[in-house]
Every structure is written in structure tokens, then in C-alpha cells.
Structure 1
């Protein structure tokens, strides 16, 4: 296999793709998606024009790839958080805390996921839907462990929980909600428990 500078052709393509992803994350989070161009990404990555098309079809495609990575990390860590022998309440709290802490660990990813991705195109929108569906699947599995009201459809409620926590996180990160991280996690947990601990009203005889 021929190499150049100690790297194969496939390795060089992979390295260039990584540089484009890293530059996209930096520029989307600092300038905003609407104010970032393919040329700007290439300049930031230190790559020539022809190298963008070897990895991405458009700026939307680049954003979609970033969203895929962000959700992969989030889902992996959430899965780890709930795959323990702890009580249901603790596992639910741990999952919510993961969702809250990730944007704090890397605010660039937080801005890309929560705000800038909303202004991208259909490829990014698809990745958002897939990511939210997978997150809802994790919540659904937790809800099914202790469902007291047979009228509750866990698939529907899991979507509601994920959507609500996402909106809470967006409002918190933008400064609309003036609460601590612990308080935000507690409020998300209360929402989860409102479903798992809800019991049907007894019929009046």
C-alpha cells in the first residue's frame, strides 16, 4: 500500500475530514451557521478547495455529520448512565445530568446542537430527528420499568420528556432560566416522576 508522509490515501482523507469537522464546529459555534461558508471552513482547516467535496456534499452535510457525532456521544453516555443496578430514580437523574453537563463540558457542541443546527438544512434536520428518536427510546425503556397508569403510552410520553428537557436546557443555556445545574436536573426528574408515579383515579362507585 502506497503511503505519503507515513499515511495511506484513506488515512489522509480521514484526517482531512476530521479537520473539516473540527473547523465546522469552531466556526458554527463562534460565527453561527448562517455566517459560515464552505470557503471559511476550508481556510480555517488549512485545506484547498477541492478537499471539501471528498468528504461532504454541502455545508448542511457538514453540520449533519457534527450533529451525528454529538448525538452519538450523548447517547453512549446516557446508555452508560442508565445501565447500572441503581434504583430507577437515580438512573433517570443520571441520564438527565448527562444531557445537561455535555454542553457545559464543550459549549461549542452545546451551541451547535441547541441553536445553530436549527438554521441548517434537511440533512441536519434528519439527524436531529434520529437523535431525538434514539434518546426517546432510552427514556421509553425507563418509563416501562414502572408504569402505574395503563392509559399512559410510554412512547408518546418519552418524546414529551425528551422535548421538554431539551427546551429547558435551551432556555437555561441562553440565560432565560436562572437556576443551577442541580436545580435544572431536579426539575427534569420531577417531570419524569410525574409520569412514572402517576396513578389512575379510582372510579367512584
Structure 2
């Protein structure tokens, strides 16, 4: 797993082979086959671990007695912090996973669904209109923040970490303000 993390993030998924992972890890073919059926399976396992870490930390960030705004800010800060704390994980989650195979795509979808579930939990606070689909809005918020983060990570957005968190929070607050407005 560590060799996959290192090679996918430094060489890219498209330029990494099972044999290069084996050489980097110093292991024989059969050891890889005991754990993974393909390179995509290895990438999917890495994505699962990355999302598990992120979802756990985000759940902790929103599971406090702080205001809705502060909990949302803390969650967004966790999401933005991942590429800074371990740029390898950030590159894999934000860029390399997009070019991997169907197993990785499935793990990415599951991870985004879990993140959307956390946002949905926050959006339901103070909701006055039962006709509003908070699940759809949570997918939109997660997608928008993910795209902002990808653009930031790729150098398209020239913002500080705090400014990026502020922009994500602004989006979240715009949605919550609309959802909580009576009639």
C-alpha cells in the first residue's frame, strides 16, 4: 500500500505498473496477488483508506456542540487539510483516482456519498421546507467544494488555505440560508 501511495502520487497512475510497485516494495509477484487482483484494486484500496480517514475526521468535526457554522467550517478545513498534510493522498484523491479503473471509480463514488451524507446531516438542521431535497443539495455542495479543492490543488485558484475554507463555507452558508428560509 505504501509503495502504491508513493508511486501513484509521484509517477501517476497511468505510469505505474504492478512490477514497479513490486520493485519499490521489494516483494515478489505472489505477495501482490494475495492482496490485490489488479493495479486498480490497489488504487481502490488506497481510496478507501483515504476516504475512511477523511470521513472519520469530518464526523468528529461536526459531532461537537459548536454552532452549525463552526462545525461546517471545521469539516471543510479537514477536507482542505488533507492535501496539505499528505500531498500524496491529496494527489491520489483529487487527480490520479480520476484516471484509474472501475474499482477506484466505485470507491470514489462511495467516498463522495459518505461525505454527502455528512453534509446532508448538517443541512437538515433548521430546515423548514420538507419539500427541499437536502440529499441533492448535499451532493451539490460536496461536488462544488471538491472542484474548488481540485482547482486549488492544481494551482488554478491562488488562495490561502483559510481563504479556500472561507469560500467553501460561503457556499455551504448560501445553501443553508436558502434551506432555512421559511416559505
1:99 & 1:185 partners in 2: Cα distance? Answer: 9
Partner of 1:67: 47
Runs of 4+ aligned residues of structure 1 deviating over 6 Å after TM superposition are none
TM-score of the pair, normalised by structure 1: 0.86
Structure number with greater CO (CA < 8 Å, separation at least 6) is 2
The structure with more radius of gyration: 1
Among candidates 94, 97, 109, match of residue 77 of structure 2? 97
Among candidates 118, 123, 126, match of residue 138 of structure 1? 118
1:36 maps onto 2:49 in alignment:
no
1:23 maps onto 2:7 in alignment:
no
1:127 maps onto 2:107 in alignment:
yes
Among candidates 53, 71, 78, match of residue 58 of structure 2? 78
Partner of 1:174: 154
TM-score of the pair, normalised by structure 2: 0.96
Structure 1 unaligned segments of length 5 or more: list them: 1-20
What CA deviation, in whole Å up to 9, does each residue of 1:35-87 have, x standing for no partner? Answer: 00000000000001221100000000000000000000000000000000001
For 1:148-159, what aligned pairs fall within 5 Å after superposition? Answer: 148-159=128-139
Equivalent pairs counted in the alignment come to 182
What CA deviation, in whole Å up to 9, does each residue of 1:170-189 have, x standing for no partner? Answer: 00011100111111111111
Contact 1:148 1:197 in 2 (8 A): no
1:181 & 1:85 partners in 2: Cα distance? Answer: 24
CA RMSD of aligned residues (A): 1.3
Which has more helix, going by share of residues?
2
